[in-house]
A and B are shown apart, each in its own frame.
Chain A
Amino acid sequence: MKRISAFQVMGPVMIGPSSSHTAGALRIAQIAAHILKEPADEVIFYLYGSFAETYQGHGTDRALLAGMMGYPTDHPDIRNAYDIAREQQLKYQFIPATLKEGMHPNTVSIEVVGSSGKKLSLTGASIGGGEVIVNVINGIDVAFTGEYPTLIVQQQDRPGVAAHITSILASAGVNIGTIRMYRESRSNRAFTILETDEKLSSDLVDRILENKNIYDVFMIN
């Protein structure tokens, strides 16, 4: 059983009004921003279930925008996210959509275009208490929470890629908590997602990228 800390009971420090509809929503957008690795130019948020029903009253829209712009969950300016987005010339759109079968009732799909034209789509759910789970990245089903330092490797599904990643982490003294591979179909696009005990340093990304079957590496610390 996961041991609960005093600060999970007496916390988190957050902006209101709802840990699932505000703080959780912000964290999903924050993960998308981390993966995009560049400022967002244009973003569409598709809101499902309770997010679609109550997003204005819970400030879910402002929280999503703030997360996209890199704000933490306890920042007092989240309330003003619309004004800040306009200042940063971030184009945004919120589209309430119908909940699909098997979807968590607090789900958002984010489609974002970065300043270099790079595109990312990500779907995540806010599962309570500010905790989230990312379900889909660029059409590939995944499952991670962003609660631990996480390394997301976008790759071609070929032999030796996992060995390459783990040997680099081992040489850096990083202990792997979980490792999972998600793939479209055999010998096609895939993601390897690793959760680690230690924080990840950015030089690891360059070293991992040296393998020709790896396209991109994202880190969430």
Chain B
Amino acid sequence: MFGNGQELLAFCQKENISISDAMIRRECDLFETTADEVQQCMLRQWQVMESSVEDALSKNLTSMGGLIGGEAKKLMKRQKEGTSVCGDITAKAVAYSMGVLEVNASMGVIVAAPTAGSSGILPGTLKALQEKYHWNDSQMTDALFCASAIGLIISEKATVAGAEGGCQAETGSAAAMTAAAICELMGATPEISLHAAAICLKNVMGQVCDPIAGLVEAPCQKRNGIGAANALISAEMALAGIPSLIPFDEVVEAMGHVGRSLPESLRETALGGVAATPTGCAYKDKLRQKI
């Protein structure tokens, strides 16, 4: 049906449908199921995402490694006091996204979107926007299908795994998926969604995966916060009619190529980047002593 962005656009234009509709049709065709059934399944994913945001804001979470915890609440305090320098939506999106990473790191329930290490960006950003625009469940479910189409193409043409492509492949892909979904929710064309996704990936091209002590905590959590902002700002650019000069498919290919060029030390092994700094190593040693 479609294997890249160009084919996806052509399909949407030919059938006069949205990216989410195209993804739902693909799912029905390939896996012999009905639109109703897959929409029900996706609604469940959205509900788990919503609870992960709620858990982040209501529970006292301690991460298994002890490197993170409480960040979402700190950010929400500033947002509530009206002192945020980001503005309401961005402040909330960043707080929620980082909060979901706290849930993840404390063995809470999350939706890998597309991975556990990047699981904050989609729910955090979409929830923050939903609170302003009051989209209903079915619109949120569609948004997740639109995001899946982007994630699917990146998975097939490059990678969404940090061990293969660095953080650009994880939080970069999550942000790209989110940005495309935001554009569709705002009523933009499939083409604009692809521009937004391309802009997102370009903004973090080359970002390495260097988890301190090898854990999905830091700098992962902050990069989820930045990923939320990346998604919002990239969507804003695309919605304003600013295109990505390089088409989505070429950006994806470039991202995959950059990922493969990264040395192994910068692909989730915790042997390079901030993980290999004296302080990064000290955290690792401290955690080892606990074992």
B156 is an interface residue with CB less than 8 A from chain A? yes
- Which one, A4, A54, A96, A128, contacts B215 given CB within 8 A? A54
Could you tell me if A6 and B107 are in contact, using CB atoms closer than 8 angstroms? no
A81 and chain B: residue at smallest CB distance = B107
> Given the complex, which residues of B lie within 8 Å of A181, measured CB to CB?
none
Q: Is B132 engaged at the interface, CB distance under 8 Å to the other chain? A: no
B119-A5 in contact (CB<8A): no
Contact between B216 and A10, CB atoms less than 8 A apart: no
**Contact (Cβ within 8 A) B109 A74:** yes
Residue with the highest number of chain B CB atoms closer than 10 Å, among A4, A9, A23, A78: A9
Q: Are A11 and B45 in contact (CB-based, < 8 A)?
A: yes
Contact A57 B107 (CB under 8 A): no
A131-145, CB under 8 A of B: which get 1 and which 0?
A: 000000000000000
Is B248's beta carbon under 8 Å from chain A? no
Task: Give which listed residue, A10, A13, A50, A56, contacts B148 with CB less than 8 A.
Answer: A10
Known: A13-B48, A17-B105. A6 touches B217 (CB 8 A): no
Interface residues on chain A, size class: 35 or more
The answer to whether A17 touches B48, judged by C-beta atoms less than 8 angstroms apart, is no
Are B45 and A7 in touch, CB under 8 angstroms? yes
Q: Could you say which residues of chain A place their CB within 8 Å of the CB of B124?
A: none
A16 touches B107 (CB 8 A): yes
Interface of chain A residues 94 through 133 with chain B (CB within 8 A)? 96, 128-130
**Across the two chains, which residue of chain B brings its CB closest to A66?**
B107
Query: Chain A contacts of B42 at CB under 8 A?
Result: 6-7, 10
Q: Which residues of A contact B117 (CB under 8 A)?
A: 17-18
Contacting A at CB under 8 A, from B27-44, are 27, 30-31, 38, 41-42, 44
Q: Please tell me if the beta carbons of B144 and A10 are within 8 angstroms of each other in the complex.
A: yes
Please encode chain B, from 94 to 136, with 1 for each CB lying within 8 Å of some chain A CB and 0 for all others: 0000000001111111111111110100100000000000000
- Are B113 and A10 within 8 A (Cβ)? yes
Residues of A within 8 A of B112 (CB): 11-12, 14, 19, 129-130
In this assembly, does B266 line the interface, its C-beta being within 8 Å of a C-beta of chain A?
Answer: no
Contact indicator B64/A58 (Cβ below 8 Å):
yes
Q: How far is the CB of A107 from chain B (nearest CB, A)?
A: 15
Please state if A62 and B107 are interface contacts (CB–CB under 8 Å).
yes
A3 interface contact, C-beta 8 A: yes
Docked Cα-Cα span, A55 to B288, in Å, equals: 10
Chain A 70-86 against B: per-residue CB contact (8 Å), 1 yes, 0 no? 00001010110000000
Is A59 an interface residue when CB atoms closer than 8 A count as contact? yes
Within 8 A of B (CB), among A1-42: 3-19, 22-23
Q: Let me know if B110 and A6 touch, CB within 8 A.
A: no
CB distance from B200 to the nearest CB of A (A): 16
Cα(A18)–Cα(B145), bound, Å: 23
Contact of B110 (CB < 8 Å), options: A4, A16, A55: A16
**Distance (Å) between the CB of B69 and the closest chain A CB?**
12
A6 with B119: CB separation less than 8 A: no
9 contacts between A and B (CB under 8 A): A7-B41, A9-B152, A13-B48, A14-B109, A14-B111, A16-B104, A16-B108, A17-B116, A57-B213
A residues engaging B (CB < 8 A)?
A: 3-19, 22-23, 50, 53-59, 62, 74, 76, 78-79, 96, 128-130
Interface, chain B (partner A; CB < 8 A): 23, 26-27, 30-31, 38, 41-42, 44-45, 48, 63-65, 103-117, 119, 122, 144-145, 147-149, 151-152, 155-156, 160-161, 163, 177, 213-217, 287, 290-291
